Homo-oligomer: A and B are copies of this chain.
């Protein structure tokens, strides 16, 4: 219920995020407070972050957000302002606030590495620590994983069907301004070649791309003036947007101004397969046989598939990518799966699980292996409960991310991108089907 004592302040807080600790749900803090009350806060626990299922019809998912989550963890501190806020609102008592002042996660985290594939029930993250430490991380870990993996999962389908043609991320304007930066990063992991987002370039080193919008043509007295200005500033290798007025005339002007050397032309409207074929013929007839054609109008994986037979050299994808192509969140959950029977440090662990039929959880600490058939093609997601599963051929999926509170899972973004490429290549061929279907790997609990 709304707290009637709360006054609603100015919407002009800082744009900085000095700590990630308040990117947390209220109830994590009240649970902490109540656990101190009952003396259970220090019970050893295992929490697991996992998908109950894939979105309907999807055949695999792609893990993204690991690097961002580790960074968020390293900034997860309850500074003076945060603690004062929690005390002022009556969310925590003084004892809890004092404990928070010294809080640093000191436990263990294993997880699927970034860029890896996932399936229903894959234990994407296994967090082992006290209840107090593990419960606080729930919201921020889920936020990052649910968003970034939704984008990477959609992006991977797009790059799969693009089949080697470059995919370019251009969706910043269609999603929250910082989600845009995270989305560009996730898309890059899943095989996109560049992004329109400058902040994704600065922060993560993703290659950035872009030349001009319709406004640039409209600014000038005629299209020829606009093209001339753009070529003078950006060179003949630039991409000219040719659909502001008449496409044929624009293409002729572009070729004429560069002696046939214009780098690319971009189509942003109309019937793209037909347009692309027509423009290719026109370019070729004018001698501009090396000029590329980029298309960018409301593309998604099905549109990309529909363009596979058209003479297109690159796809710019916006809305569909940054909204997860129909599935903007993964529905990952973070559940307690085991706990110690008492508060003693060496108390034995028992499985725990909520019993509601529709949201049942499988208790116990998980281990995960992707098993291969005799040809080296992935054939199952094998999840061991309380023990490592043994398979004839396969590889472990859980890697150490945090050891005794120290972050050990950092890696360059390029490593995640390369992992995605390899992990996709291992999947059965049905993984790249656009039709709706079952997950390409069955999850087997052993």
Task: Give the interface of A toward B (CB within 8 A).
Answer: 1-3, 6-18, 20, 22-31, 33-38, 40, 43, 45, 47, 67-68, 71-72, 75, 81-82, 85-86, 89, 91, 93, 131, 135, 138-140, 142-144, 146-148, 166, 168, 170, 172-182, 185, 188, 193-194, 196-199, 201-216, 218-221, 225-226, 228-230, 232-234, 239, 243-245, 264, 268-270, 292, 314, 319, 322-324, 328-329, 331, 334-336, 339, 341, 352-359, 410, 412-414, 417
Contacts and interface: CB of A to CB of B under 8 A. Distances in A.
A323 B329 CA distance: 8
B198 A29 contact: yes
A229 B230 CA distance: 68
Contacts of A17: 15-17, 178
A142 B202 CA distance: 20
A204 to B, nearest CB: 5
Contact of A244 (B15, B131, B199, B354): B354
A311 to B, nearest CB: 16
A13 B89 contact: no
Nearest to A216: B31
Interface hub of A37, A213, A230 (most chain B Cβ within 10 A): A213
Contact of A233 (B9, B37, B175): B37
Nearest to A167: B2
Contacts of A414: 8
A356 B38 contact: no
A40 to B, nearest CB: 5
A331 B319 contact: yes
Contacts of A11: 67-68, 71, 185, 203-205, 412-413
Contacts of A219: 35, 40, 43, 45, 131, 336, 339
Contacts of A13: 202-204
Nearest to A334: B173
B30 A170 contact: no
